[in-house]
Amino acid sequence: MTEPKKIDLTGDYLKLARVALSGRMQDVQLTLHRAAKRYRSSDAPLADHLTTLLQESPTFASPLRKQAEVPLPVDVDSRLHLLRVETDPAIDHEPVFAPDLAVALTQLVAERRKAALLNRAGLQPTRSALFIGPPGVGKTMAARWLARELKRPLLILDLAAVMSSLLGRTGGNLRHVLDYAKGINCVLLLDELDAIAKRRDDQGEIGELKRLVTVLIQQLDDWPSSGILLGATNHPALLDPAIWRRFEAHMDFPLPDRAAIAQFVADTLAPVFPEATAWTAPLAVAFAGKSFSDIERELIAARRYAAINDAPLNDRLAILAGNQATGKAGRIAVATALVDHGLVSQRKARALTGVARDTIRNRTAPKRKPPRRTKQDTP
Ligand SMILES: Nc1ncnc2c1ncn2[C@@H]1O[C@H](COP(=O)(O)OP(=O)(O)OP(=O)(O)O)[C@@H](O)[C@H]1O
Ligand SMILES: [Mg+2]
């Protein structure tokens, strides 16, 4: 009978630390895999534990791993990777989708989850969708959300970046990327799809662009129903109608309305700020017409300011609301909302927005809560 191998935990720990600090995930996994094998005879529970952890590890279990032998497509000359790969797409807060959009995206997920029902009805799931909307309203985020819901890797091809100065290469690159993505059970996002159209003003390149459009059309036609191909654009009018038509679903990503902004403000502030609820409605008024990413940036800037100056976030948010207000009607709406929600006094609202106190008095609800005291209000 052979003696169980002695475990050198200190040595193994140091070795693992060295490999982990090199940042090469695959080497870390290999080291753990070998250790689990060695521990099997002398410490089976430890070996089991390690094996389970490895199996749960996203990069280990990912469909991309099966493709590990197939290298990521690179630009022929620059050798730069053409694709951004998110093996395990994560989002740090849940997206707020307009009601129609939420229905359409949920349907896309349900079609994949209930593929058998579609099959029985002689139907295929939606293969492709075009996301249309201004910057910062969640097109990329929705692609990430879809990939996460479907537990698939997300591959992002930024067309503006791929359309290198040498336009002639773009067609080849595009074919290269789509061929690669077809072999993986993934969500592929063609970002900035209108980049193909935007350069049409350059007369010298019209022939190349036409060829590029043809390549894209062929690739869209050949896309398998097992994959999900998404396109995103800020300028739908610039897209070639033939490309537009090839996307089976068209989804509009509007700028957030008041309810969506309120929801987003609540989601962003509630986990970090106990008084968040009082702010959702006034900030929804102040941020009218802004994108989610603009709003997010402003809220983070306010939090940063409050944190490093040890100042009340209430004060910073009041200033932020005042600064956002534009036009006479906008300023009056913000001043009224701040006073109506008991966040500042009429005098402070006037200082923040420039709206006369008489106007504020006339517009605000007659029975309002006493103004919340902030550091600046206290004598
Ligand atoms: N609908 C949304 N719900 C919650 N957060 C959002 C939403 N849209 C945008 N955000 C926030 O703004 C950031 C930027 O959004 P995203 O990259 O998805 O915009 P986009 O529509 O793809 O813009 P672009 O056209 O510039 O690529 C996100 O990471 C997220 O934090
Ligand atoms: Mg985007």
Q: Which residue, by CA, sits nearest to atom 11 of ligand 1?
A: 293
The sign one gets for the Cα dihedral 181, 187, 193, 195 is negative
Mean pLDDT for the stretch of residues 262-279: 93
If you take atom 29 of ligand 1, which residue's CA is the nearest one? 141
What pLDDT is attached to residue 7? 81
How many angstroms separate the most distant Cα atoms in the chain?
A: 96
**293 CA from centroid of ligand 1 (Å):** 6
Looking at residue 237, its amino acid is: A
pLDDT of 284 strictly over 90: yes
State yes or no: pLDDT of 366 exceeds 80: no
Instruction: Quote the pLDDT of residue 5.
Output: 64
Q: Given this model, what pLDDT does residue 61 score?
A: 47
- Nearest ligand by distance to the CA of 253: 1
DSSP string, 203-269: GGGHHHHHHHHHHHHHHHHH--TTSEEEEEES-GGGS-HHHHHH-SEEEE-PPP-HHHHHHHHHHHH
**Mutation test of ligand 1: which of 86, 94, 137 has the most ligand atoms closer than 8 Å to its C-beta?**
137
> Is 139 near ligand 1, meaning CB less than 6 Å away?
yes
Euclidean distance between the first and the last CA atom of the chain, given in angstroms as a whole number = 85
For residue range 340-352, list pLDDT tens digits in order: 998 999 999 999 9
* Contact predicate 88/62, CB 8 Å: yes
Residue 40 has pLDDT above 80, yes or no: yes
Residues 113-148: tens digit of each pLDDT: 998 899 899 999 999 999 999 999 999 999 999 999
Query: Within a 10 A sphere around the Cβ of 118, how many other Cβ atoms?
Result: 16
| Residue written as token pair 């009041």 | 318
Percent of the chain with pLDDT over 70: 85
Share of the chain above pLDDT 90, in %: 45
Q: Which long-range contacts (CB under 8 A, 24 or more apart) does 200-209 make?
A: 205/167, 208/167, 208/168, 208/170, 208/171, 209/167
Mean pLDDT of 158-178: 74
| Closest of 178, 166, 98 to residue 134, by C-alpha | 98
Categorize the per-residue pLDDT at 167 as very low, low, confident or very high, splitting at 50, 70 and 90: low
Q: What is the pLDDT of residue 378?
A: 46
Protein residue closest via CA to atom 27 of ligand 1: 135
Q: Could you say which DSSP state residue 375 is in?
A: T
Q: Report whether residue 268 contacts ligand 1, using a CB cutoff of 6 Å.
A: no
Kind plus residue range of the DSSP H or E element containing 132: strand 128-132
274 neighbors 339 (Cβ within 8 angstroms): no
Would you say 159 and 84 are in contact if contact means Cβ atoms under 8 Å apart? Answer: no
Any idea what DSSP says for residue 28?
A: H
Nearest to 376 by CA among 356, 336, 348: 348
Ligand number, closest to the Cα atom of 292? 1
| Per-residue tokens: 374 | 């902030």
In sequence order, the 6+-apart residues with CB closer than 8 A to the CB of 160 are 191, 192, 195
Higher-scoring residue by pLDDT: 169, 360: 360
Q: Measuring CA to CA, how many Å separate 224 from each of 151, 208, 220, 247? A: 18, 26, 9, 13
**52 or 189, which is more confident?**
189
> Does 292 sit in the ligand 1 pocket, CB within 6 Å?
yes
Q: What is the DSSP string of 139-166?
A: HHHHHHHHHHHTT--EEEEEHHHHS-SS
* Residue of 178, 192, 217, 101 whose CA lies nearest to 140: 192
Token pair belonging to 106: 């949920």
Give me 112's structure tokens: 């994949």
Q: Please choose, from the candidates 197, 109, 112, the residue with its C-alpha nearest in 3D space to the C-alpha of residue 145.
A: 109
Closest CA to 76 of 198, 169, 183: 169
Lowest mean pLDDT among 147-156, 200-209, 328-337: 200-209
Which DSSP letter does residue 131 get? E
At a CB cut-off of 8 Å and minimum separation 6, what does 83 contact?
Answer: 72, 73, 155, 156, 157, 177, 180, 181
Interval 62-87 mean pLDDT: 64
Distance CA 169, CA 163 (A): 8
